[in-house]
Amino acid sequence: MAGEIDPDVDPVVMDATRVGRVLANLVSNALRHTPGGGVVTISARRNTAGVEVTVRDSGEGIPTEDLPHIFDQFYRGEKSRSRQTGGAGLGLAIARGIVQAHGGTIRAESAPGAGTRVIFTLPSVESGCEQAMI
């Protein structure tokens, strides 16, 4: 696993516990879907909307037909997984809710065999975010 943070990343007003939960979920998913010898990278950079955080993996990727649904409650792209075998299909829906509650956005980019990138953006103090978070 590797990490990269641009030196010009602005401060972000956030509930660190909840955003930590977002990161933990995204990293857990990336590790679960990346084979041994693969790479998971976390990066943060400044953009016009605030701070963009990316969790990228070199795993199997997400099938095209599943990609529009991965942030839906109870959606499991892996049909073999169930609540009994691991996961309720809530992790990414919760992550989306937390990011949106902070005034941010979240999206995923993926292709089968090409890994996955999940990107979320939180407004920075410099981008005008002065509201109190959750």
Quote the pTM value. 0.83
Dump pLDDT digits (tens) for 114-133.
999 999 999 987 655 554 44
CB-hemisphere CA count at 13 Å for 57? 23
Query: Residue 111's domain is classified under what CATH number?
Result: 3.30.565.10
Tell me, yes or no, whether 58 lies in a domain: yes
The number of folded domains in the chain is: 1
Q: Would residue 70 count as lying in a domain?
A: yes
Q: Work out the average pLDDT over 49-73.
A: 93
What tens digit of pLDDT does each residue of 6-42 get?
888 878 889 999 999 999 999 999 999 999 999 999 9
Cβ within 8 Å of residue 27, ≥6 positions away: 1, 40, 42, 55
Mark residue 76 as left, alpha or beta (left: phi above 0; alpha: psi -120 to 50; beta: remaining).
beta
**Residue-range definition of the domain harbouring residue 48:** 2-122
